[in-house]
Each structure stands twice: as C-alpha cells, then as structure tokens.
Amino acid sequence: MRKGILEYCILGILDSSDAYASDIIDQLKGAKLIVVEGTLYPLLTRLKNAGLLEYRWEESSSGPPRKYYSLSNSGRAFQKELKMTWEELQSAVTILTTRPNQS
C-alpha cells in the first residue's frame, strides 16, 4: 500500500514544481514516508516509462549531471484523478473507522 501512496506523493511533489531525485528524497524523508532512497529510483523510472513523467538533464556543481523530473500532460491528468480518488478514500476511511460498531 505504501508504494501506491508513494507514487501518488511523487506525482504530488512534482505537481508543485519540477524536482530532481535528491529533492524528492528530501521531501519524502521529511514527511517520514521513505526510509531508504533506493526505493525511489525504480519508482521514478517506472513512472517515466508509463509516460507520466518527463525529465531533462541539468549540470550539477557537485557531481554528475542530474535528471530533473516534471509531470507530463498525462501525468498531470492522472495526478488529478488520483487526488480525487485519494480524497474519496480519505473520507471513506474516516467514515468507516469512526462509524460505531457495525453489525
């Protein structure tokens, strides 16, 4: 489950601004959503291969060139869709878990 949410979160992060892997990792780590960085790379590649993400290379002062990821058009649409689903899920879970004992 965490993985699905991770993907949603990645799309969410990229929705507000383009980012490169390290930025995404920092944000996810800050939210305590990710424990090890290695998990992220396969996800990013898969999202990219699914046509949801695009990337461009940017030179870096401290190391090899970086891949800057951004949402593609379909990624943007998918992110909106996920957002709706997520909100529904959220309210559903709230209702389900706060509902008095069901028979």
In the complex, which residues of this chain contact other proteins (CB under 8 A)? 1-5, 7-8, 21-22, 35-39, 41-47, 49-50, 52, 60, 62-67, 78, 81-82, 85-86, 88-89, 91-93, 95-97, 99, 102
Helix (H, G, I), strand (E, B) or coil at 63: coil
Q: Which is nearer to other proteins, 45 or 73 (CB)?
A: 45
- Spell out the residues 6+ positions from residue 86 whose beta carbon is closer than 8 angstroms to its own: 8
Give least dist CB 42 to other proteins, A.
4
| Inter-CA distances, 36 with 61, 68, 69, 93, Å | 24, 20, 20, 28
Q: Which tokens is 38 given?
A: 């290695």
- Secondary structure (3-state) at 54: strand
* Minimum distance, C-beta of residue 17 to other proteins, in the bound complex (Å): 20
Closest separation in Å from C-beta 70 to other proteins: 16
CB-wise, 17 or 98, nearer to other proteins? 98
